[in-house]
């Protein structure tokens, strides 16, 4: 009865936590909308700015002079001179005598002093406007962050709601088998996610004073669960000792992947601005990504490396591909004008279902080689770090045993022969004798470089899917 109550309480806690996350997401969405409603779309000099500058100039120069009616006329709602002077100042950076009305030039005895003071006051108004716009841009950024954080919280809540607690089904069997191997499981949690992937969190210690490796414990857990494909991720403890500790285990997917990579810097450069990552750190998931830093050389290399490493870290933490790319884009936006934008091409493969999710920001096409030929996945978008509201393009496909995923940067595609670059590379891939993924990457790079020396950095990343 106590065990059933405890499991029920745990499930209730999960539901409560997911509900609270949804509430927090809605609150953040409301904050974002409130900021958006207050944004001032007019970010240029206004009529009031110009009127204030003229009034201040008149007070400092004109005194009690009443020879002209320039200022009194400018106060009218339909004042032509006011808007004309504003446009002249914005276009040329100053108001000149030729921009002033004729009656002013004919009657004003201190027109040089007045015009000089007017330009000075309009300059101050422009400087104040710049600071105001910077503030509004910062507020825009905060608003975007509120929206993105709200989206992320909703995703986490969904994950918690969809994860099934299967502790009651296998819990006793797991404890019994571990006792047979001189280990006491004091607490455990077994979860099954939407894609059928299972995870386990065991609070365990040895009872005979010896140590057991996490790899050995994973094999024991696999026997208890009826599936030998269990392992301990790299972010968990590596040993079970006599000191109680919680260890994370995950079920390996039905598929496995291998990769091959080849790259070449542009002619005359020591560094390639193209970088890639390949990771299996996230349980049951492979992450492949390439980034093309704008330009070439060491700076482009550093920028693209930063992009792929940040995206990989976010994905391994549990962010969805969409959320990770939008966060990367926001970070690049906040780094300042001295930084260079970069493209990013991201492929996440679920090793349990074989489903590929491709996300692109400014990246060129991805090629999928299967028994049915070569399919091209493309989506034209601006690079990361250019627009704050950019939306990554999601492309999803099912992969099967023996399929290959070929990712390239624009340097490879542009170097392919013919006018139809994608068609040329597609034809070459279709005619390849499929060998190892590394040989495929090398052959594709060689094909792109066959006619001339590289005029841009080149990167090829090939992933191969096999059933276990």
DSSP calls for 359-426: EEES---EEEEETTEEEEE----PPBTS-TT--PEEEEEE--TT-EEEEE-HHHHHHSSSS-HHHHHH
pLDDT at 325: 73
Report the distance separating Cα 398 and Cα 368, nearest Å.
Answer: 10
**Which residue in 167, 185, 165 sits closest to 175, CA to CA?**
185
Say if residue 394's pLDDT is above 60: yes
Closest by CA to 181, choosing from 229, 217, 218, is 217
156 pLDDT more than 90: no
Mean pLDDT across 455-468 = 89
288 shares its domain with 319:
yes
Instruction: Quote the tokens at residue 305.
Output: 């490396």
Considering the domain architecture, whether residues 388 and 444 belong to the same structural domain is answered as yes
Domain boundaries, position 16 = 1-162
Task: Please give the pLDDT value at position 430.
Answer: 92
Domain count, the chain: 3
Burial of 226 (0-12, 13-18, 19+ CB in 10 A): exposed
Q: Which residues contact 299 (CB under 8 A, 6 or more apart)?
A: 293, 340
Residue 113, CA atoms < 13 Å, CB-side half-sphere: 11
Strands across the sheet with 285-293, in order?
274-279, 285-293, 342-350, 355-361, 393-398
Last residue of a domain, one of 251, 275, 299: 251
Is the domain of 169 the same as that of 141?
Answer: no
pLDDT band (50, 70, 90) for residue 135: low
For 410, the token pair is 């624009």
Q: CB of 200 within 8 A of CB of 221?
A: yes
Q: Do residue 132 and residue 199 come from a single domain?
A: no
Residue 192, token pair as written in the block = 């099954």
Per-residue confidence band for 355, with pLDDT thresholds at 50, 70 and 90: very high
User: What is the pLDDT confidence band of residue 9, given thresholds at 50, 70 and 90?
Assistant: very low
Q: Return the closest-CA partner of residue 320 out of 199, 194, 140.
A: 194
Q: Quote the crossing angle between the two packed helices 421-431 and 437-448, to the nearest 10°.
A: 140
Q: What backbone phi and psi angles, to 5 degrees, belong to 381?
A: -145, 165
Single residue among 214, 234, 251 that ends a domain in this structure: 251
- Output the CA angle 40-44-46, nearest 5 degrees: 90
The mean pLDDT of the chain is 78
Angle subtended at Cα 297 by Cα 295 and Cα 300, rounded to the nearest 5 degrees: 55
Most confident of the ranges 71-75, 264-268, 381-385: 264-268
**pLDDT tens-digit series, residues 71-118:** 555 555 445 566 677 777 777 778 787 777 777 777 777 778 877 887
Note whether 338 and 383 are same-domain residues.
Answer: yes
Q: Which of 13, 37, 33 minimizes the C-alpha distance to 25? A: 33
Instruction: Tell me: do 243 and 353 sit in the same domain.
Output: no
pLDDT band at residue 3 under the 50/70/90 scheme: very low
Regarding whether 153 and 176 lie in a shared domain, the answer is: no
Q: Which of 190, 235, 191, 240 is nearest to 215 (CA)?
A: 240
Q: CATH number, domain at 396?
A: 3.60.40.10
Select, from the ranges 56-65, 208-217, 272-281, 315-324, the one with the highest average predicted confidence (pLDDT).
Answer: 208-217
224, 251, 278 - which closes a domain: 251
User: 203: pLDDT confidence band, cut at 50, 70 and 90?
Assistant: very high
The stretch 409-428 carries a mean pLDDT of: 89
Query: Hey, is 68 helix, strand or coil?
Result: coil
Mean pLDDT of 321-335: 70
Opening angle at CA 185, ends 183 and 189, nearest 5:
145
| Mean per-residue pLDDT, 213-237 | 89
Query: In this predicted structure, what is the pLDDT of residue 61?
Result: 73
Please check whether residues 175 and 273 belong to one and the same domain: no
Q: Are residues 80 and 213 in the same domain?
A: no
Same domain? For 303 and 372 the reply is yes
Mean pLDDT, residues 228-232 taken together: 86
Assess whether 171 and 157 both reside in one domain.
no
Question: Could you tell me if 27 and 146 lie in one domain?
Answer: yes
Q: Is the pLDDT of residue 40 over 70?
A: no
347 or 333: which carries more pLDDT confidence? 347
Q: Which of 341, 384, 326 is nearest to 144 (CA)?
A: 326
Degrees to nearest 5, angle at CA 35 with 30 and 37: 95
- Categorize the per-residue pLDDT at 282 as very low, low, confident or very high, splitting at 50, 70 and 90: confident
Question: Bridge-partner residues for 394, per DSSP?
Answer: 359
Neighbouring residues of 50: CB distance < 8 A, sequence distance ≥ 6: 74, 82, 83, 85, 86, 122, 125
pLDDT band for 59, please (50, 70, 90 cuts).
confident
Average confidence (pLDDT) over 425-446 = 90
């Amino acid at each position: 009865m106590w065990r059933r109550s405890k499991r029920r309480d745990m499930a209730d806690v999960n539901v409560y936590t997911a509900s609270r996350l949804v509430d927090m997401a809605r609150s953040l969405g409301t904050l974002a909308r409130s900021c958006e409603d207050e944004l001032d779309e007019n970010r240029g000099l206004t009529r009031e700015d110009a009127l204030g500058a003229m009034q201040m100039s008149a007070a400092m120069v004109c005194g009690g002079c009443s020879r002209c009616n320039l200022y009194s006329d400018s106060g009218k709602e339909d004042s032509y001179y006011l808007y004309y002077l504003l446009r002249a100042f914005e276009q040329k950076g100053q108001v000149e005598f030729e921009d002033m009305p004729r009656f002013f030039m004919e009657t004003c005895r201190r027109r040089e002093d007045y015009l000089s003071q007017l330009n000075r006051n309009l300059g101050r108004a422009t400087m104040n406007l710049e600071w105001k716009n910077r503030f509004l841009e910062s507020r825009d950024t905060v608003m975007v962050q509120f929206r993105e954080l709200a989206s992320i919280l909703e995703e986490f809540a969904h994950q918690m709601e969809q994860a099934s607690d299967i502790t009651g089904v296998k819990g006793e069997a797991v404890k019994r088998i571990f006792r047979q191997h001189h280990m006491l499981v004091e607490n455990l949690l077994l979860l099954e996610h939407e894609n059928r992937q299972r995870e386990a969190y065991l609070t365990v210690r040895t009872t005979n004073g010896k140590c057991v490796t996490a790899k050995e414990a994973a094999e024991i857990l696999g026997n208890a669960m009826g599936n030998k494909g269990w392992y301990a991720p790299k972010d968990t403890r590596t040993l079970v000792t006599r000191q109680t500790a919680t260890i994370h285990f995950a079920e390996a997917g039905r598929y496995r992947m291998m990769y091959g990579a080849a790259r070449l810097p542009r002619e005359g450069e020591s560094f390639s601005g193209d970088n890639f990552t390949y990771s299996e750190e996230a349980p049951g998931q492979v992450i492949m990504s390439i980034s093309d830093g704008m330009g070439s050389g060491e700076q482009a290399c550093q920028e693209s490396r930063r992009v792929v490493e940040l995206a990989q870290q976010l994905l391994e933490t549990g962010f969805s591909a969409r959320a990770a790319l939008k966060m990367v884009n926001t970070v690049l936006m906040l780094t300042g004008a001295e930084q260079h934008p970069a493209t990013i091409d991201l492929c996440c493969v679920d090793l349990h279902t074989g489903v590929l999710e491709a996300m692109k920001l400014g990246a060129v096409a991805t090629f999928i080689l299967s028994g049915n030929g070569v399919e091209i996945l493309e989506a034209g978008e601006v690079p990361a770090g250019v627009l704050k509201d950019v939306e990554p393009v999601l492309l999803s496909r099912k992969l099967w045993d023996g399929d290959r995923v070929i990712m390239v940067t624009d340097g490879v595609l542009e170097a392919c022969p013919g006018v139809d670059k994608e068609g040329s590379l597609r034809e070459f891939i279709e005619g390849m004798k499929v060998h190892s993924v590394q040989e495929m990457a090398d052959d594709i790079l060689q094909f792109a470089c066959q006619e001339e020396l590289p005029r841009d950095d080149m990167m090829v990343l090939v992933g191969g899917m096999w059933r276990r």
